[in-house]
Amino acid sequence: MQLTIRATGQDAKVISYLLAKNPNNLYERSVNGHFIRMFYSQFAEEEVEVTFFVTPDPIGLSSNQSEIYDITSYINDREFVVSSIFCTFLRTALGTALNGKPKEDYVSWVNHSFPLEFSFGPLASSLSNQEIEELFQPLGYEVAITYGEVDYRVNIKKKSTARYITLKGLTTLQKGLRQLFILIPVLDNYKHYYIDEKEIEKIERYGEGWLDTHPQRQFILKHALRFKEVYSLVERESEEKQSTAVEQKVRLNDLRYEKIIQKVNEFKNRETIIDFGSGEGKLSVKLGFVDGVKEILAVEPSESESIKALKRFEKVQEKENFVMPKQIIGSLFYYDERLKNKDIIILCEVIEHIDAYRLPKIMRTILHDYRPKVLLITTPNKEYNEVYQLEDESYRHSDHRFEWTREEFSDWCETQSEASEYNVTFDGIGEEHELYGYPTQMCIFTRKEL
């Protein structure tokens, strides 16, 4: 990680005073085993070039990493790229320049604009070159970007993910550095320290005189502050317009829940309900308000989803007539005797996440062992993808193992019920298309003896 500052013009040498660094000496400070270093590679009348860099202790750096036990905690780009870590390391070395507090004789130079060139890197950023340019060009810089090498024996990638940035412009040293101290962490999109309100204060200070008028101000703040909670202290997030596809999806989800709730209300027996693959608990929480329901078992194997669901349940726990769902860790691949003989089992958008060849066994467990009075299944209608203009053979969700046409689904349901004691009826959810039917299809298995 390195930053080279090059000044040209007749006053170039003043830079050394603004930095408070003697051009005849090397600078080296050790912080917890990491070396912060500086040297001048040019100190002439009309050209000064100085490089600051850090030689980190890789072992010390990795032991500060998160507790995730993964090789990426030990092998990663942090010891090479410019980042918030780099800025923290350099803060002391560049203190005089950043604060604009040189020796009295040079105070007047603090606000003097020099023809300056800042080059820094390597940079690991998810931003495109254009996005990077959009950050610096409004500040009056010419931006040049070079790449690392990708001369691999095998085709690993087309372009390197290591970039080196050079900015050229007429600016004061202080302002230039302050801009970098805000923008390097924005580019890197990773902060190594805890971000709280203090960060806002820093941004206000370093951003003085340029950030407020920057066309990318909102973007910079968002990336600099990283967390919604902190960011919202600065300003309210303006409502972003959601794309129509997302809108449709959200609406379909709601319609699906609505329809299921409506169906459940129609069933005579609805005291005990199992919501299989309950995820974040969106359906379970709605079932909790259905009249006549006494027990909801929300079955979900994922702990993180279950925690989200619990939060959702707890929010409405105190409301009248709410039946708190009981969370059960489990899945369709195991047998759980607590699920036997309930009124309703719901598989809402579940089966398409399971390899088709595993379905017979699951259906056997449900229909023969658990024996609910009603089994309700929903799954996407593949034909309707035409309406969404999905590419051929692509699924609505990357984890879908299959999506069925209406015929495939009904054929399958009929075979399941053939050998068992259930009648099947079909229905659809969403806006019906005259050719392709409903976006979501639904099948209800009802035990014959009832």
Partner 1 sequence: MNIRLPYAGIVLLVGPSNSGKTTLLKQLVNNGQILPSEIVSSDECRVLVSDVEFIDWTQRPNDEAEGLFDAYQKISAEAFKLMDTMIETRCRLNKLTFVDATHLYSDDRKKYISIANKHHVPIVSIVLDVDQTVLLERDRNRENPRGSRRIKQQYQVFKREKRFMKKEGYDKTYFLSDTDQVEIFRENTNPVHLDVGNGIDIIGDIHGCYNELIQVLQKLGYMKNDEDYYVHPEGRKFLSLGDIMSRGPKSLQTMEFFLRHVEKGLAYMIDSNHGWKIARWLDGRKVTLNYGDELVEEEFIQFEEAYGIEKAEQLKHKLKQFLLAAPSHYVLTKNGVPTLVCAHAGIKDEFIGKQSAHISDFCRYGDNEGLDETGKPIRKDWTIHHKTKTLIVWGHDPKPKPLIMNNTVNIDQGVVFGGALTAYRYPEREFVSVQAEKDYSEGKSNPLMELKKKRLNPPNIAKFLNGYSVLTETFGEIKIPKEYAIPSIDLVSHFTVPIEEMIYIPPTMSPTPKPSALDDYLEHPKEAIDYYRSMGIERMVAEKKHMGSRGILFLFKDKDAGFKYVGRETLGVIYTRTGRKFFDEETEAKILSKINKALTSKDYFHQYGTEFVLLDAEIMPWNLKAKELISSLYAHVSENAILDRRLLKSKIERAVGQNEELVKWLEEYKDKLANAHVFKEVFQKYCWEINEIDEIQIAPFHLLAHSNETFFHKPHTWHMEKNKEFASMDNLFIETEYMVIEDEASEKEVVNWWNTITKDGHEGIVIKPEPFIVKSKGKLVQPAIKVRGRKYLHIIYGMDYLEQENLNRLKKRNVGKKQKLALREFALGIEGIQRFVNGESIERVHECVLGTLSMESDPVDPRL
Q: Which residues bind partner 1 (CB under 8 A)?
A: 1-2, 4, 24, 26, 37, 39-43, 51, 53, 55, 58-59, 62, 67, 69-77, 80-81, 121-122, 124, 148-150, 152-157, 160-162, 164, 301-303, 329-338, 355, 357-358, 361, 365
Instruction: Considering the complex, state which of residue 51 and residue 216 has its C-beta at the smaller distance from partner 1.
Output: 51
- Give dist(CA 113, CA 229) in Å, integer: 37
Cα–Cα distances (Å) from 259 to 56, 276, 377, in that order, read 59, 17, 12
Least CB distance to partner 1 at residue 58 (A): 5
- Compute the least distance from the CB of residue 59 to partner 1, in Å: 6
Residue 308 has which token pair?
């989200």
- In the complex, minimum distance from the CB of residue 123 to partner 1, in angstroms, rounded to a whole number: 9
How many CB atoms sit inside 10 A of residue 105's CB?
Answer: 8
- Under DSSP, the state recorded for 12 is T
Cβ neighbours for 230, distance < 8 A, ≥ 6 positions apart: 195, 196, 197, 199, 200
CB of 210 to partner 1, least distance (A): 28
Burial of 104 (0-12, 13-18, 19+ CB in 10 A): exposed
Looking at beta carbons only, is 70 or 201 nearer to partner 1? 70
Residues in the chain: 450
Distance in angstroms (rounded) separating the CA atoms of residues 447 and 376? 12
Q: Which is nearer to partner 1, 95 or 148 (CB)?
A: 148
Q: How far is the CB of 260 from partner 1 (least distance, A)?
A: 22
Question: What do you get for the CA distance between the two ends of the chain, in Å?
Answer: 73
Closer CB to partner 1, residue 225 or residue 375?
375
Q: Of 109 and 370, which CB lies nearer to partner 1 in the complex structure?
A: 370
Reduce the DSSP state of residue 391 to 3 states and report it.
coil
| Spatial contact of 82 and 1, defined as CB atoms under 8 Å apart | yes
Q: How far is 14 from 103, CA to CA, in rounded Å? A: 11
**What's the closest the beta carbon of residue 26 comes to partner 1, in angstroms?**
5
Residue nearer to partner 1 on the CB measure, 29 or 338: 338
